[in-house]
Amino acid sequence: MKLINLDDLIRPASECGCGFSHDKTLEAVLIGDLESGVKRLGNLGLSPPYAVFYDKVTYEIAGGRVAEILDAEAFLVKEPTFCEAEEKSGKLGERGTVIAVGGGTVIDVAKYAAYKRGLSFVSIPTAPSHDGIVSPIASLFTQKRRKSVLTRSPKIALIDPKILASAPRELAASGYGDILAKLVSIKDWQLGRDELGEAYCTNAEELVMKAVDLVIKALTSERDPERRLSSLTEALIYSGAAMMIVGSSRPASGSEHLISHYLDMNSEKRLKHGIQCALGAMAMAAYHQERNPNWWTEEKYRLEALRKYSQAAGIPIRLSEAGIPSKIMVEAIVEAWKIRPNRYTILHKFKPSRVEALEILKKAGLI
């Protein structure tokens, strides 16, 4: 059983001087066999009785086994909505720890429900699809709109590489896309810092860029599938930890995520979160590269490299391949800033017209 210790990577708040809390709710990340890890949970300060959240697919993969080992009641998660999370929170009774076994839907619902009840939370991801596996952010739908809210990171994350390796390739592609998109989110955050005086944490930036570099190396030089997946998993943890220490999704979510949220709300075809973020990142990388003098100068972080990494990860690099009409993406570029008007990004700064949006898509190679 491997233990990832973040203590060496998270500096004290006083030393960083950023003004953020540098929360360290996440105490340990265990990587290894599921059953061995679950049996260790009782020695890691978690309070029984346990509640295990799952969906129909993840119950068969691992949820049922986790509930059996812990003699815990299992709760079926049907959809990623605030209504679902509130309902599950109301059913937790006197339980002491909530354990999520699943992907984004299960983890976000469980995370929110545990937070509402002040309970410990454990994340057991079944797919490497996004960086919410250890972040304090829960992203859920209210009616047709997706909304991200601050909760708390898990106390423990338990990751079985064999389970992640069995996930569909599309989910790993989503994970890669979610991390690659940070090339844009960091630069959007720097715009807020430089132009609005927004608080900025260099420690969070270091964690995010460590995640990005791990993924780039995995996609360009790692041939062994297990090592590649291990690098992706580690990257998702670092990105989630960056959000944890600043208590916000700001280090990991910029204009590219707003575009993904717009697609969630308005596109007939909803792709995996990280794939949509990667498509948004390609568009916004083209826009930054043209309009932002502070855009990355290193070739490995620029648009053409981002397109190559995305293709290597199995992410479509043209809208036609993704099944997204260019008209919808144009509207996303024009309208997405309104979803979070107070989160300053390159879209907030320039508010591109539809004509400009179409040019952005052409320069990004998306059409």
DSSP string, 73-114: EEEE---SBHHHHHHHHHT-TT--EEEEEESHHHHHHHHHHH
Pair (155, 177) in one structural domain: no
Print the domain residue range for 278. 169-363
Strand partners, 54: 76
Closest by Cα among 137, 144, 94, 139 to 119? 94
How many whole angstroms separate alpha carbon 85 and alpha carbon 108?
8
Pair (147, 173) in one structural domain: no
How many whole angstroms separate alpha carbon 240 and alpha carbon 132?
6
How many whole angstroms separate alpha carbon 360 and alpha carbon 315?
19
Check residue 172 and give its pLDDT.
96
Check residue 306 and give its pLDDT.
98
Last residue of a domain, one of 116, 144, 165: 165
Q: Is residue 136 part of a domain?
A: yes
Pair (241, 316) in one structural domain: yes
Q: What is the mean pLDDT of residues 18-45?
A: 93
Residue 269: burial class (beta carbons within 10 Å; 0-12, 13-18, 19+)? exposed
Q: Which amino acid appears at position 285 of this protein?
A: A
Q: What is the mean pLDDT of residues 323-338?
A: 98
Query: What CATH number should be reported for the domain holding residue 300?
Result: 1.20.1090.10
Q: Which long-range contacts (CB under 8 A, 24 or more apart) does 78-81 make?
A: 79/105, 79/141, 80/104, 80/105, 80/108, 80/109, 80/139, 80/140, 80/141, 81/140, 81/141, 81/142
φ, ψ at 64 (rounded to 5°): -60, -40
pLDDT in tens, 288-322: 999 999 999 999 999 999 999 999 999 999 999 99
Q: Is residue 113 part of a domain?
A: yes
pLDDT in tens, 64-94: 999 999 999 999 999 999 999 999 999 999 9
φ, ψ at 51 (rounded to 5°): -125, 130
- Average confidence score pLDDT of the chain: 95
Report yes or no: 312 and 219 within 8 Å, Cβ to Cβ.
Answer: yes
Q: Is residue 27 part of a domain?
A: no
> How far is CA 161 from each of CA 32, 175, 218, 225, 241, rounded to the nearest angstrom?
7, 14, 16, 11, 20
Check residue 212 and give its pLDDT.
98
Give me the number of domains the chain comprises: 2
pLDDT in tens, 196-224: 999 999 999 999 999 999 999 999 999 99
Report yes or no: 154 and 131 within 8 Å, Cβ to Cβ.
Answer: no
Query: What CATH number should be reported for the domain holding residue 39?
Result: 3.40.50.1970
Q: Which helix (H) or strand (E) holds 44?
A: none
Pair (193, 341) in one structural domain: yes
The pLDDT of residue 144 is above 80: no
Check residue 319 and give its pLDDT.
98
Pair (161, 173) in one structural domain: no
269: its two tokens: 């075809």
Q: Is residue 19 part of a domain?
A: no
Rg, the chain, Cα only: 20
pLDDT in tens, 244-292: 999 999 999 999 999 999 999 999 888 999 999 999 999 999 999 999 9
Pair (234, 336) in one structural domain: yes
How many whole angstroms separate alpha carbon 125 and alpha carbon 24?
20
Pair (189, 296) in one structural domain: yes
Pair (99, 152) in one structural domain: yes
Pair (238, 293) in one structural domain: yes
pLDDT in tens, 345-357: 999 999 999 999 9
